[in-house]
Structure 1
Amino acid sequence: MSTPRLVVFDVDGTLVDSQDHIVAAMSEAFAAVDHALPPRHEVLSIVGLSLDQAIARLLPQAGEPTRRTAVEAYKSAFGQLRAGRLSPLFPGARAALDALDAREGVMLGIATGKSRRGLTHILDAHGLAGRFLTRQVADDHPSKPHPSMLLAAVAETGVGSADAVMLGDTTYDIEMARAAGMPAIGVAWGYHSPEALSEAGAACVLGSFDDLDGVLDELWRGM
C-alpha cells in the first residue's frame, strides 16, 4: 500500500483568479474610510493574509476603529461582487484536481485566508465542494504564515508533515509550510513573484498546472 499523501492548496491566486474582485472590494473599503487606495500591486501583495492583517498592512497608520470599518466595508463589497460574477479557476486547475483525485493514497486539502463562508461559496459555485478532505480557513486560525492551518490539516487527515505538501502563490504560503515542517511548491501565476517564492524556500515554482504531477512524483521520490 502506498504512503498516504496530502496536497494542500491555497485558493486566491492559486486555484482561483479573484484579483479583480479583491481590488474592487478594497477600493470600496478605502473609500469607506476616506483613504486613497494603494497601487494595485500593493493591494495584491497582501492576498493570502487574513483580512484584518491585510487591512493592517495597507493602513499601517490608521487606528483600530478605522481598520475595522475598512474590514466591514470590504466584506460587504466583496459579497456583492461575488454574487454578481464568479471568479474563474486558473487554467488547468480543474484538470489538476481531477488527476490528483485519481491517484491512490492522495488526499486534498485547503488552507486559505478566506472565511469559511467565502470558501464554501467558491467551492460550491465551481462544483468542488466534495474534493477537499480538510478545509482550513481564517475564521479558525491565526493568519498565514503561522503554521496553525497546516498543523490542523495534517492532524485531521493523519498524514505526517513530511508526507504533505503546500501549493501556493505567496511567500506567506511558503513560510507557513516551512514553519509546519512541510515542503512547499510555488506557482508562477499568482500574486508574488517566482523569485520571491524561491527565496522564501519553495522546493520549486510551477509555470503551469500541467507540471504538477511530475513535480509531486519527483518530490515524493526524494522522501
Structure 2
Amino acid sequence: MHPDAPDFETKVLAAFLQTLQRYCEQLRGTPTAARDGLSLASSIVTARPVPQLRGRIRREAERVLGRELPGARLERTFFALDPRMSEPWYAIGIDHRLPAPTADDEPEGPVLILTLAFSGPLRWAYPLVIADAWQAIRRGPPSADLRQEISLPDHVNAVPAGPLLRLRYRPGVVEVCRTDLKPHYAVAVDEYLLAPGNRVALAGHGRIRFTNGTAQSELRYVLMERQ
C-alpha cells in the first residue's frame, strides 16, 4: 500500500485500532487500569497528511475503550509528518498518563514526536514534552507510570532489556545519556560511542547501535515537530 492510495487513511486507522486493542489487553487487570479517569495519549506519524483521520480516531477510540477499558479516555492525539518514511509509511504509539491532581501538572511547551524503528517496517512513535527529568528507553510492557519511560515492545528481543539509555527533552535539544547498566554492551549514537555517564544530543534523525561481542542491533530514530 502506497501512501497515495485512496484507502491509506483507512489503513492507518485500522492499524491504530489494532495498536489500541493490544495496549488495552496489556493494561487490563493491572492497578493502572483500575484507576478512575485513566487518560491515554496517542502519537501518529505518517508519510503524508491525513486530515480526515482526526475525527475518526476519537470516535473509534471511544468505542474500543468503552468495551475494553471502561472509564478510560483518549485525551490527546499528536500527529506528525515524515515524508522520508518507508513502508508501511506510518508509525503509531499509545501511552497512558495517570490523572493529574491539578491543571498545573499538565505538560507545557512544544511537543516533539520521536519514532524508533527496528528491522524495516517495525516502528513506534512517542510524544516528548519539555521536562528536566530523564526518561528511560527500555524494552518491556507498560509500567505503572509510562510518563517516565519510552518502552519498546517486549518481543523486540534483539534490543537489550533494561534502560541502557535515558532521554531528556529540554528547550532546543533532545539528549540521550548512557546509564551504567550492562557495561558489556557498547552503545553508540550516530557513531558516537557512549561510556556510562556520557550524553549526546540527538540530530533530526540517526541511529542507535547496541553491540555485545559479535551481536549487534540497531534502532533508527527520527525527531519531528507535531502538526
TM-score (norm 1): 0.33
| Structure with greater contact order relative to length (CA < 8 Å, sep ≥ 6) | 1
The structure with more strand, counted as a fraction of residues: 2
Q: Using structure 2 for the length normalisation, give the TM-score.
A: 0.32
Relative to total residues, which structure has the larger helix share, 1 or 2? Answer: 1
